[in-house]
Amino acid sequence: MNEFKALVVRENESKITHQIEQINEDMLSEGNVLIKVMYSSVNYKDMLAVQAKGGVVRNYPMIPGIDLSGEIVKSEDPKFSVGQKVLVTGYKMGMTKTGGFSEYAKVPSSWVIPLPDKLTLKNAMVYGTAGFTAALSINELEKNGMKDNLNSRILVTGATGGVGSISLQILSKIGYTNITAIVRKTKQIEVAKKLGANNVILLEDFDFSKKLLAEEKFDYILDTVGGELISKLLPYVSYQGSVSLCGNAGGNKLDTTVLPFILRGINLLGIDSVNVSNEIRLSVWNKLSDDWDVADSLLFNEVSFNELSDTLNSLKEGKHLGRSIVRINEV
């Protein structure tokens, strides 16, 4: 194979740099499937991967990119064929194994998901890990009773962020009628309503109780924040309700008591999008391509491969708005 382009992160005398380079297949991690990457997406974890002490990359050089979609050009696994459209998210791609910010990627076949018939390569990355995590969260809440009542009182935290905003749109699309969003800024109220929230709470207006068990306000909470906020919200979950946890932007610590669990029987559902089984992955991606399909309503920005570094820098500086997908090869 001739040389091709990739965004490469290098460490030189403890200084971390990244730029687009011409590389060859020898620089890719081991894997039995070679994919021509058409699209990737820009995630917070990808931005950390190009920073010193970002906590994502430990061995250099590395090609970041935790998501990709594309076409197979070589496969040693008979389950996959040349020309087949596929997607890959999670595992250690873009962290300890070279990832999607490259015109070609090599991965183990066990990581590869056949692209659902109704999903395009582009829309797969419009969802990316954020959309997949949102769908995983909803899937687990439905398995724990939420599906039985479309009028269940559902609260979404981090409602205008990547996972939260997609969650609101999916919940609204599939018919839930009592969705509450909690937001931190006044300007986010109208945004959350447009995304599908029936009710919006401004965080500073929420009167948090000091009681160990408070009034039952929510049957289900889809939490994307973690930390202090979800700790304070647990006492408001109703009897046999459930809470899904998928993020830690608000901190890693969960400060609570056992009372919501032993007196109200609530369920705490951990959501992992990195190592979840392929059986679950395929089921969730099929939902995202069909009954849960909100790809056409998601706001995103498409950038070229050459604009990727600028996009990562904007994300670091807090100037990046919405989701961005990267066009790696011309389709």
| Cα-Cα-Cα-Cα dihedral sign, residues 141, 147, 152, 155 | positive
In whole angstroms, what is the distance from residue 127 CA to residue 295 CA? 7
**pLDDT profile of the chain (331 residues), mean per 10:** 92 89 95 98 89 88 96 97 97 95 97 96 96 97 97 95 93 97 94 95 91 95 95 96 92 92 97 94 97 92 91 79 84 64
Tokens 């068990």 belong to 213
Question: What pLDDT does residue 44 have?
Answer: 85
Nearest one of 200, 209, 251 to 234, comparing CA atoms: 209
Domains and CATH numbers, the chain: 4-118+293-327 (3.90.180.10), 131-270 (3.40.50.720)
Give residues with Cβ within 8 angstroms of 275, minimum separation 6.
90, 91
Strands 154-156 and 113-114: unpaired
In whole angstroms, what is the distance from residue 25 CA to residue 107 CA? 12
Q: What single DSSP character describes residue 234?
A: G
Residues 160-177: b if buried by 16+ CB within 10 A, e if exposed: bbbbbbbbbbbbbeeebe
Question: What pLDDT does residue 247 have?
Answer: 87
**pLDDT digits 0-9 by tens, 180-232:** 999 999 999 999 999 999 999 999 999 898 899 999 999 999 999 999 999 99
Quote the tokens at residue 119. 């999903």
Whole-structure pTM value = 0.92
In whole angstroms, what is the distance from residue 112 CA to residue 106 CA? 10
Question: What pLDDT does residue 331 have?
Answer: 64
Q: Where are any strands of DSSP class E within 54-101? A: 67-75, 85-89
Question: What pLDDT does residue 43 have?
Answer: 87
CA angle 224, 323, 44 (to 5 degrees): 60
